[in-house]
Structure 1
Amino acid sequence: MTETIRYSNSQIALHWAVAVLVVGQYLFNEPIAQAWNAAANGLPVSFSPLILAHVGGGVLILALVIWRLVLKSQRAAPPPPDNEPALLKLAGQLAHWSLYGLLAAMSISGMAAWFGGLDAAAAAHSLLKVLLIALIGLHVLAVIFHHLILKSPILKRII
Structure 2
Amino acid sequence: MNVKHYSKGLSLLHWLVAIMFAASYIISDGMPKYFDQHLENIDVSGQWVANFHVYAGLAFIAVVLIRLIVRLTSQKPEPIGSADSRLNKIATGTHHLLYLLMFLVPVAGVIGWYEKITIFGDIHVLLMNLMLGLVGLHIAAAIYHQWVLKDGILSRISLLKSEKRN
Question: Structure 1 length normalisation: TM-score?
Answer: 0.88
Are the aligned partners of 2:3 and 2:75 in contact in 1 as well (CA < 8 Å)? no
After the TM superposition, which of the residue ranges 120-129 and 69-78 deviates more from structure 2?
A: 69-78
Give the AA of the match of 1:119: T
The 1:109–1:82 alpha-carbon spacing in structure 2 relative to 1, beyond 3 Å, is closer
In 1, Cα distance between the equivalents of 2:101 and 2:118? 19
TM-aligned CA deviation for residue 43 of structure 1? 4.0
TM-aligned CA deviation for residue 82 of structure 1? 6.0
Q: 1:25-57 deviations in whole A, cap 9, x for unaligned?
A: 111112433211223455443422332221111
Are the aligned partners of 2:3 and 2:76 in contact in 1 as well (CA < 8 Å)? no
Determine whether 1:123 maps to 2:122: yes
Question: Partner residue of 1:147?
Answer: 146
Corresponding residue SS for 1:30: coil
Question: Partner residue of 2:4?
Answer: 5
In 2, Cα distance between the equivalents of 1:130 and 1:83? 28
Question: Structure 2 length normalisation: TM-score?
Answer: 0.85
**Paired residues for 1:131-142 under 5 Å:** 131-142=130-141
Are the aligned partners of 2:57 and 2:106 in contact in 1 as well (CA < 8 Å)? yes
Aligned residues: CA RMSD: 2.0
Identical-pair percentage: 27
Q: 1:57-77 deviations in whole A, cap 9, x for unaligned?
A: 111111111111111111143
Corresponding residue SS for 1:133: helix
Corresponding residue SS for 1:60: helix
TM-aligned CA deviation for residue 85 of structure 1? 3.8
Are the aligned partners of 2:10 and 2:67 in contact in 1 as well (CA < 8 Å)? yes
Are the aligned partners of 2:27 and 2:49 in contact in 1 as well (CA < 8 Å)? yes
The size of the alignment, in residue pairs, is 157
Are the aligned partners of 1:4 and 1:153 in contact in 2 as well (CA < 8 Å)? no
- Structure number with higher relative contact order (C-alpha < 8 Å, ≥ 6 residues apart): 2
In 1, Cα distance between the equivalents of 2:147 and 2:44? 48
Unaligned runs of 5+ in 2: 159-166
TM-aligned CA deviation for residue 154 of structure 1? 1.1
**Paired residues for 1:1-159 under 5 Å:** 5-41=4-40, 43-81=42-80, 85-159=84-158
Corresponding residue SS for 2:34: helix
Q: Which structure: greater helix fraction?
A: 1
